Amino acid sequence: MALHSNFVNAMVVNEVNFVEKFDIAIIGAGPGGYIAAIHAAKSGKKVALVERDKVGGACYNVGCIPSKILLEHSKLIQEIKRGYDWGIETSVVNVNFPRLMKRKDAIIDELLTNIEGYILSNQITFYRGEAAVSNDLTVTVGNEIFTATDIILATGSKPFVPPFKGIETSSYYTTDTFFDMTELPKQLTIIGGGVIAVEMAFSLAPLGTKVTVLNHSEDILQTEEPDARPLIREKMKKLNIKLVTDFHFEHFNGNEIHTSKGIYTYENLLFATGRRPNTKIAQQLGLAFEGRLIAVNEHLETSQPHIYAIGDLVGGFQLAHSASAEGIYVVDHILGNKPARIDQALIPRCVYTHPEIATFGLLEEQVNEPYKVTKMPLHTNSKALMEGNTVGFIKLIATEKEGRILGACVVADGATEMLNAILATKNAGGTAHTLANMIFPHPTVSEHIGDAAKAIFDKAIHQ
């Protein structure tokens, strides 16, 4: 991407004979870092932003953006096949995978160009290179040295590959390398059963790849809504994704994976087994840790005053929008704005399978007060029937008396957009009564939200 190289060369600060002073320095230009930098700059602060690789971090370059682009490609293939079932007959559909990947690259290139433009237009001083931070809040990047009143660490995470016996004899991808491929793999074995593993299975199988998912746990997506898991497993079966669960890995030998359930061979292997925080700077500074994570207080400040950490460095949800919210929060705290603490229950969690899963708040087993729960299936919804997307439901958990919304889950095509109506109501102080009294347009899938809310009070129409 020559454009980005030119941008970096233009933005990198020339060597000077004085140490420049910034109000806020941010290490890492991913979704947490670059958004914090822009927010600080728009708030009148003098800001330095350091990035050793590409702006956008893992999310834009090797994570959520490229994976969601592939999922859109796969979703289109499924829609074409559904059209054939309806009577819209087409010739054989051929997948030109190199062209799909070029489209992926073009979209990412445009997004990164936009981010670079935001950095430039907000007069943020951008440093390219590996940052070293001293306890006196001095930052060194190559030959450049500057200081800051406050520093935000936003260095993200890297893929984790478990130290299985014999793993050194095997060749494999991680999500950092997988999206570089230009040929559609005929076969792919994915190790893992979380969101990334399942999304990658959904992104490749509809394109024609024979996919096997090996997950040693008893079930997939164990951090997500339990009622959604059987629907996703059933869809995986329809997509001819082979799912193997509840076993022990024994050892690896070349392209053989030896398990307690037998030997599995592969042509291509992808590890989707989680991520680990990039804590090199924190270790050099001698910051306190809680396990693998940097220890922070309620304001995300580390054990050293004026040094903060956000995103994958501090736990919570490993989500881009969570890191962005934390970055904005820290800047507002530094500004003395006394921002409201981030409520983890209001952070939406998304799985971009087909159907999608979108959730916020508590799951049923986490509720510790009297509550009512409703689950409105999509097969009674007019728009879902028209679209042929009847697999899924809208689930709402609310307190019995006040109707306070404790949690919600939407499993549907477009669920990650639909959830926002419930979340916005919750954020605005609304209740299940509010949703029940809303007038939704008809026919829409989202009108089932209102009916699910009515069901809390035993007044649902379509139940």
Q: Looking at the structure, do residues 321 and 196 belong to the same domain, yes or no?
A: no
Q: What percent of the chain has pLDDT over 90?
A: 93
Residue 146, beta-bridge partner list: 20, 139
Say if CB 25 and CB 48 are below 8 A apart.
Answer: yes
Average pLDDT of the residues in 170-174: 97
Structure tokens at 129: 């290179």
Whether the predicted pLDDT of 231 surpasses 90: yes
Residues forming the active site: 442
Residue 301 lies in a domain: yes
Q: Which of 320, 344, 368 is the last residue of a domain?
A: 344
Give Dmax (Cα) for the chain: 74
**What CATH number is attached to the domain comprising 296?**
3.50.50.60
**What CATH number is attached to the domain comprising 447?**
3.30.390.30
Task: Please state, in angstroms and rounded to a whole number, the distance separating the CA atoms of residues 197 and 260.
Answer: 21
For the chain, first and last CA: distance in Å? Answer: 54
Task: Please state, in angstroms and rounded to a whole number, the distance separating the CA atoms of residues 173 and 62.
Answer: 12
pLDDT bracket for residue 91 (50, 70, 90): confident
Task: Please state, in angstroms and rounded to a whole number, the distance separating the CA atoms of residues 413 and 259.
Answer: 35
Range of the domain at 116: 2-60+100-158+275-344
- Strand 405-412 relative to strand 356-361, pairing: antiparallel
Residue 244 lies in a domain: yes
Residue 283 lies in a domain: yes
- How confident is the model at residue 92, as a pLDDT? 84
Whether the predicted pLDDT of 108 surpasses 50: yes
Whether the predicted pLDDT of 9 surpasses 60: no
Task: Please write the tens of the pLDDT for every residue from 366-391.
Answer: 999 999 999 999 999 999 999 999 99
Residue 192 lies in a domain: yes
Total domains in the chain come to 3
pLDDT bracket for residue 49 (50, 70, 90): very high
Which segments of 266-355 are extended strands (E)?
269-271, 275-277, 289-290, 293-294, 307-309, 349-351
Q: Which of 287, 322, 344 is the last residue of a domain?
A: 344
- How confident is the model at residue 14, as a pLDDT? 45
- How confident is the model at residue 11, as a pLDDT? 45
pLDDT bracket for residue 277 (50, 70, 90): very high
Task: Please write the tens of the pLDDT for every residue from 417-440.
Answer: 999 999 999 999 999 999 999 999
- Mean of all residue pLDDT scores within the chain: 95
Q: Looking at the structure, do residues 418 and 445 belong to the same domain, yes or no?
A: yes
Q: Looking at the structure, do residues 17 and 43 belong to the same domain, yes or no?
A: yes
Average pLDDT of the residues in 154-175: 97
- How confident is the model at residue 462, as a pLDDT? 87
Q: Which of 271, 302, 320 is the last residue of a domain?
A: 271
- The pTM assigned to this predicted structure is 0.93
DSSP states along 116-170:
HHHHHHTT-EEEES-EEE-TTSEEEETTEEEEEEEEEE---EEE-----TTGGG-
Residue 94 lies in a domain: no
Higher pLDDT, 234 or 401: 234
